[in-house]
Amino acid sequence: MQEKPWKPWALLSPSLSAVFLLLVVPVCFIVVYSFWLRAPSGADIPAFQFGNYAKFFEDFFYPSILIRTIRVALETVILCLVMGYIPAYFFYRSESRHKSILLLLIMLPFWISFIIRTLSWINILGDSGLINYLLIEMGILNEPLSMLYNEGAVLMGLLQYLLPFMILNVYVSLDGIDKSLLEAARSLGCTEWQAFKEVVLPLSMPGVSAGCLLVFVLTAGTYLPPMILGGPGNDMIANLIFKRIIGTLDWPFGSAISVILLVLLGIIVFTYNRYLGINQIFKTLQ
Amino acid sequence: MTQERNPRLVRFEGIVKRFGTVTAVEKMDLDIAEGTLVTLLGPSGCGKTTLLRMIAGLEDPTEGDIYIKGERINDIPIHKRNLGMIFQNYALFPHKTIFDNVAFGLKYRNVNKAEVEKKVTQALEMVRLPGVEKRMPAQLSGGQQQRIALARAIVIEPDVLLMDEPLSALDENLREEMRREVDNLQQMLGVTTIFVTHDQREALSMSDKIVVMKDGKKLQEGTPDEVYNQPNNHFVADFLGHSNFAEGEVVGKENRFVKVRLKDGTIFRVEDTGRFQEGEPVELVVRAQKFDAFRQEEFTPDPEMNYFEGKIRDRSYMGGEVSYFVELPDGTEVHIISMMRTRIYEVGDSVSVQVAPRHCHLLPIET
Strand partners, B19: B22
- Give the pLDDT of residue B341: 63
Minimal Cβ distance to B87: which of A180, A194, A202:
A180
Check if A273 contacts B (Cβ < 8 Å): no
Closest CA to B280 of B247, B256, B308, B254: B247
The C-alpha of A74 sits at a distance from chain B's nearest C-alpha, in angstroms, of 28
* A179: closest chain B residue by CA: B91
What are the pLDDT digits (tens) for A53-91? 999 999 899 999 999 999 999 999 999 999 999 999 999
Predicted ipTM of the assembly: 0.83
- Give the pLDDT of residue A231: 86
**Selected residues 102-141 of chain B with any CB under 8 Å from a CB in chain A:** 104-105, 107-109, 136, 138-139
What are the pLDDT digits (tens) for A250-272? 999 999 999 999 999 999 888 88
Question: Other C-beta atoms within 10 Å of B222: how many?
Answer: 18
The C-alpha of B52 sits at a distance from chain A's nearest C-alpha, in angstroms, of 12
Minimal Cβ distance to B108: which of A180, A184, A190:
A190
For residues B143-153, give the mean pLDDT.
Answer: 94
* B100: closest chain A residue by CA: A198
Minimal Cβ distance to A181: which of B83, B91, B105:
B91
pLDDT exceeds cutoff 80 at A277: no
**CA A66 → CA A223, A238, A240, A249, A264, distances in Å?**
13, 9, 10, 21, 10
**CA B118 → CA A190, B104, B112, B185, B297, distances in Å?**
22, 14, 10, 18, 71
- Give the pLDDT of residue A283: 47
- Give the pLDDT of residue B1: 45
* B58: closest chain A residue by CA: A183
Residues on chain B touching A93 (C-beta within 8 angstroms): none
Minimal Cβ distance to A191: which of B79, B138, B156:
B79
Residues on chain B touching A183 (C-beta within 8 angstroms): 56, 58, 78, 85, 87, 91
Check if A284 contacts B (Cβ < 8 Å): yes
What are the pLDDT digits (tens) for A33-48? 999 998 877 788 888 9
Check if B156 contacts A (Cβ < 8 Å): yes
Phi then psi for B34, rounded to 5 degrees? Answer: -60, 135
The C-alpha of B13 sits at a distance from chain A's nearest C-alpha, in angstroms, of 22
Mean pLDDT (chain A) is 89
Q: What percent of chain B has pLDDT over 70?
A: 98
Check if A279 contacts B (Cβ < 8 Å): no
Residues on chain A touching B152 (C-beta within 8 angstroms): 184, 188
**CA B337 → CA A54, A267, B210, B233, distances in Å?**
93, 74, 24, 22
* A206: closest chain B residue by CA: B95
Check if B78 contacts A (Cβ < 8 Å): yes
- Return the minimum-mean-pLDDT range out of B36-40, B162-166, B339-343: B339-343
What are the pLDDT digits (tens) for B281-334? 999 999 998 998 888 888 888 888 898 889 999 988 887 788 999 998 888 889
* A188: closest chain B residue by CA: B105
Closest CA to A215 of A40, A84, A64: A84
pLDDT exceeds cutoff 50 at A286: no
pLDDT exceeds cutoff 90 at A99: no
Element (H, E) at A255: helix A251-272
B15, B26 contact by CB (below 8 A): no
Please judge whether B79 and A198 are an interchain contact, meaning their C-beta atoms are less than 8 angstroms apart: no
* B153: closest chain A residue by CA: A188
Residues on chain A touching B93 (C-beta within 8 angstroms): 181, 184-185, 198-199
**Selected residues 159-178 of chain A with any CB under 8 Å from a CB in chain B:** 178
Residues on chain B touching A198 (C-beta within 8 angstroms): 93, 104
pLDDT exceeds cutoff 90 at B346: no
For residues A178-191, give the mean pLDDT.
Answer: 94
Minimal Cβ distance to B95: which of A184, A194, A283:
A283
Catalogue all structural domains in chain A, each as residue range(s) with its CATH number: 47-95+154-284 (1.10.3720.10)
C-alpha span between B253 and B260 (Å, rounded): 9
pTM over cut 0.80: yes
Please judge whether B108 and A184 are an interchain contact, meaning their C-beta atoms are less than 8 angstroms apart: no
Residue type present at position B347: V
Residues on chain A touching B91 (C-beta within 8 angstroms): 178, 180-181, 183-184
Q: What percent of chain B has pLDDT over 90?
A: 63
- The sign of the CA dihedral B357, B360, B364, B367 is negative
A259, A30 contact by CB (below 8 A): yes
The C-alpha of B85 sits at a distance from chain A's nearest C-alpha, in angstroms, of 7
What are the pLDDT digits (tens) for A132-165? 999 998 988 888 888 889 999 999 999 999 999 9
**CA B297 → CA A171, A225, B205, B294, distances in Å?**
75, 99, 40, 8
Mean pLDDT (chain B) is 90
Residue of A96, A97, A181, A188 to mutate when probing chain B, most B C-beta within 10 A: A188
- Give the pLDDT of residue B2: 47
